[in-house]
């Protein structure tokens, strides 16, 4: 358990030693030493985990199943970018560790880029540690990398670059088709050319649906809806999105968010609340749970701004940061000690170290 505690402790230390917000959430020009070092540490920890995560066996079998497959057949499968990595790992070398490390690098790239666009980047990263990093990135490889690329896409959208947003969302969808659900976000990005934007997004959404999602709807319906899969802890994870969403909706005028992007986050907040009744009536909590993962960035946006919203703008506002620390620590503790699937993450194993003893 100590590797998770170390990761939590590092992000905690950086959050409480970097309390003062950066100007308007604009990243400083220099990355500094801390960000690249943390990127590599996190990528190695996620990418070279060994027998960690509830789906480890399935991912391992997936790589082994690619041995001897024709490349053309692989690229015609669902999630072709992820399948290509599996084919390379199985036939060129590296196995599941190659796949996981590449996915980890892409996830970390998107996560750090998104956090650095927030007023308190280390606080945003700390909030991401208990669930987004520990559970999603280390447990759901495909959707983890898709979410990382989606966060990278959102940073482009918040800078009003719809074309770059479309590129990164398309790449995310090539790893996990569910990422196409974020395409309509472009409608709320504050573009001045709203008519052209709606038309462009509509065409893009139709193309993405035709190319990536349509043929897999039957699989999704059969394996999630008809099978009525239940996801343990889904209600808690939906609540983790709903809490900051409700806070933002009630006190949205107190949050320092660019007026051009405020509509985007309000829409995300309202839709995050909508997941609550959807979860109640849905025959598959797993389906709702997996879609709701794409709303996790809302937590990072709201919580990294909460100290300024309820404190003095531009100040350290330690009390609010310590309350967020307590909140995140509670989530980390509750998951590690009480989650039904936590045993699949414990103990943490690092492949190079494990291989040394084989």
Q: Could you please report the per-residue DSSP string of 117-139?
A: TSSSHHHHHHHHIIIIIIIIIHH
Say what the pLDDT of residue 282 is. Answer: 66
Tell me the C-alpha distance between 89 and 59, whole Å. Answer: 12
Say what the pLDDT of residue 1 is. Answer: 78
Task: Mean pLDDT check: name the lowest of 183-187, 209-213, 244-248.
Answer: 209-213
Say what the pLDDT of residue 72 is. Answer: 86
Tell me the C-alpha distance between 340 and 135, whole Å. Answer: 12
Please give the model's pTM, rounded to 2 decimal places.
0.88
Percentage of the chain surpassing pLDDT 90? 52
285 contacts: CB under 8 Å, gap ≥ 6 = 229, 230, 231, 234, 235, 279
Tell me the C-alpha distance between 324 and 318, whole Å. Answer: 10
Q: What are phi and psi for residue 208, nearest 5 degrees? A: -65, -40
Say what the pLDDT of residue 346 is. Answer: 92
pLDDT at 204 over 80: no
Tell me the C-alpha distance between 216 and 210, whole Å. Answer: 10
Q: What are phi and psi for residue 328, nearest 5 degrees? A: -70, -40
- What are the residues facing 49 on neighbouring strands? 350
Angle at 291 between CA 72 and CA 333, to 5 degrees: 115
DSSP state of 350: B
Tell me the C-alpha distance between 227 and 219, whole Å. Answer: 11
Burial of 237 by CB count in 10 Å (0-12 exposed, 13-18 middle, 19+ buried)? buried
At residue 154 the predicted structure's pLDDT band, cuts being 50, 70 and 90, is: very high
90 contacts: CB under 8 Å, gap ≥ 6 = 63, 64, 65, 66, 67, 69
- Residue 271 and residue 296 in contact, taking contact as beta carbons nearer than 8 Å: no
Tell me the C-alpha distance between 299 and 296, whole Å. Answer: 5
pLDDT at 331 over 90: yes
- What are the residues facing 350 on neighbouring strands? 49
For 150-165, letters b (16+ CB in 10 Å) and e give: bbbbbbbbbebebeeb
What does the pLDDT average to over 310-325? Answer: 92
Q: In a 3-state reduction of DSSP, which class is residue 177?
A: helix
347 contacts: CB under 8 Å, gap ≥ 6 = 1
């Amino acid at each position: 358990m100590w590797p998770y505690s170390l990761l939590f402790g590092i992000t905690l230390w950086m959050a409480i030693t970097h309390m003062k917000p950066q100007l308007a959430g604009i990243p400083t020009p220099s990355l500094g030493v801390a960000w690249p070092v943390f990127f590599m540490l996190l990528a190695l920890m996620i990418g070279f985990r060994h027998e960690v995560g509830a789906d480890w066996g399935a991912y391992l079998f997936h790589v082994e199943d690619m041995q001897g497959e024709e490349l053309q057949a692989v690229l015609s499968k669902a999630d072709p970018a992820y399948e290509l990595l599996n084919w390379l790992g199985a036939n060129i070398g590296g196995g599941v560790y190659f796949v996981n490390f590449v996915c980890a690098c892409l996830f970390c790239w998107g996560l750090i880029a998104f956090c650095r666009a927030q007023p308190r980047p280390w606080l945003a990263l700390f909030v991401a540690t208990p669930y987004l990093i520990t559970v999603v990135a280390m447990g759901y490889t495909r959707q983890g990398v898709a979410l990382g690329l989606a966060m990278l896409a959102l940073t482009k959208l918040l800078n009003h670059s719809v074309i770059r947003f479309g590129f990164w969302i398309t790449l995310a969808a090539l790893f996990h088709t569910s990422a196409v659900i974020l395409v309509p976000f472009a409608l709320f990005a504050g573009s001045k050319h709203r008519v052209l934007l709606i038309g462009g997004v509509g065409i893009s959404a139709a193309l993405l649906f035709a190319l990536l999602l349509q043929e897999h709807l039957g699989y999704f319906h059969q394996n999630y809806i008809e099978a009525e899969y239940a996801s343990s802890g889904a209600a808690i994870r939906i609540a983790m999105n709903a809490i900051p969403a409700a806070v933002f909706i009630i006190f949205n005028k107190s949050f320092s968010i660019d007026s051009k992007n405020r509509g985007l986050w309000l829409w995300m907040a309202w839709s995050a609340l909508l997941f609550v009744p959807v979860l109640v009536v849905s025959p598959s909590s797993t389906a709702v749970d997996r879609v709701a993962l794409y709303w996790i960035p809302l937590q990072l946006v709201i919580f990294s701004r909460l100290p300024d919203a309820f404190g003095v703008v531009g100040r350290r506002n330690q009390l609010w940061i310590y309350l967020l620390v307590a909140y995140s620590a509670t989530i980390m503790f509750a998951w590690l000690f009480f989650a039904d699937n936590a045993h699949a993450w414990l103990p943490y194993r690092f492949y190079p170290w494990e291989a040394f003893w084989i």
